[in-house]
Amino acid sequence: MALLIVNDDNSLMETRQLEYFVAVAEELSFTRAAQRVYAVQSTVSAAIRSLETELRTTLFDRSTRRVALSPAGAAFLPEVKAALEAVQRAKAVLQEATEGLRGTIRIGTLTSTWELDLPTLLGAFHRRYPLVDIHLTVSVSGSSGLADDVRHGRLDVALLGLPDSELTGLRTTALDSRPFVALLPADHRLAGRHELTLGDLAGEHFVDTARGYANRLAVDRAFDAIGTPRRIVVEVADVQTVPDYVRAGLGIAVIPNHALDPDPALVAVPLAGNPLTCVFSIATSADKPPSLPVQTLLDLIDEGRTAPHV
């Protein structure tokens, strides 16, 4: 049931109205907002009209082609988000005191989580806090998409691999880092080298992940910086499958070495100069404090990282 917030003029706003407002403001679409809050579009539209009537102002500029925040709506948005977060924190504290930890955690992750055993971690969390609903999705758009989902409130937590320059608006903790290596078939002309520069790889055919993935972004930028754009002949959705295509002779790759298992048909050669490094991080929004369930999950991850291995 939605809570009620009393205005200065003693009129009432439901928290559900405010949640609908935030959804429309972030999606800039009544259709997408309705999908996000699991409501029909007419219900969301009616709630926004009612809120505008109560506030005696226009929150959105609407046309047949677009929805945009009005100046009043833009000023209202951060205050509404802060109010909703305060309500959620208050409810979480009350529920924990009376019933145990409750809430929802929306987690986004890459197909590979390196050294972090995510299934075991979430299983332990669920056994300890069974009243917390966990929603886990595997990204189809790579780290960039995950970061954007956290910034826009579609995810509470994301496990991603972006450089510092791509982490604006996020609060992150580094979990691991790995250097990139050149991955070659064992019979490749460069396979006997002790190290390679990116320039040595110019003109080769490449296997890589799709655009938007952190490792693809880093390598594209590195080759662009030396004036040698790459020819990508195979794009895959999971970095763990890149070695399969290299082994088949379709191209070479530059990938983080966490994705590699020992394979006599492949050779991983270190990169000379200023080697690329992929950092694996856990990210939450920098614009708001994590909810109590999210913070509890972050604490559990931190416990696992700092616990001694025996």
Q: Which range marks the domain in which residue 157 is found? A: 105-172+287-305
- Cα 40 to its chain centre, rounded Å, is 27
The CATH number assigned to the domain holding 66 equals: 1.10.10.10
CA distance 284 to 295: 10
Are residues 153 and 127 part of one domain? yes
Residue 120, pLDDT > 80, answer yes
pLDDT tens string 166-189 = 889 999 998 888 889 999 999 999
pLDDT tens string 264-277 = 999 999 998 767 88
Residue 85 has what pLDDT?
83
Phi (first) and psi of residue 12, to 5 degrees: -115, 140
On whether the CB atoms of residues 276 and 214 are closer than 8 A, the answer is no
Are residues 76 and 44 part of one domain? yes
Instruction: Say if 10 falls within a structural domain.
Output: yes
For the chain, how many structural domains are there in total?
A: 3
Are residues 199 and 116 part of one domain? no
E strands, 9-121, are 12-14, 60-62, 67-69, 103-109
Are residues 192 and 263 part of one domain? yes
Q: Calculate ∠ Cα 117-118-124, nearest 5°.
A: 95
pLDDT tens string 34-93 = 999 899 999 999 999 999 999 999 999 988 788 999 999 999 999 998 888 888 777 777
Are residues 180 and 143 part of one domain? no
Instruction: Say if 25 falls within a structural domain.
Output: yes
39: β partners: none
Which residue bears the tokens 């075991």? 120
On whether the CB atoms of residues 258 and 116 are closer than 8 A, the answer is no
Instruction: Say if 310 falls within a structural domain.
Output: no
Task: Please provide the DSSP assignment of 186-251 as one string.
Answer: TTSTTTT-S-B-TGGGTT-EEEEEPTTSHHHHHHHHHHHHTT---EEEEEES-GGGHHHHHHTTS-
On whether the CB atoms of residues 234 and 247 are closer than 8 A, the answer is no
Phi (first) and psi of residue 276, to 5 degrees: -75, 145
The CATH number assigned to the domain holding 247 equals: 3.40.190.10
Residue 229 pLDDT class (50, 70, 90 cuts): confident
Instruction: Say if 206 falls within a structural domain.
Output: yes
Are residues 199 and 213 part of one domain? yes
- Domain boundary (75, 97, 119) is at 97
Instruction: Say if 215 falls within a structural domain.
Output: yes
On whether the CB atoms of residues 153 and 26 are closer than 8 A, the answer is yes
CA distance 138 to 215: 17
- Domain boundary (49, 79, 97) is at 97
Are residues 131 and 90 part of one domain? no
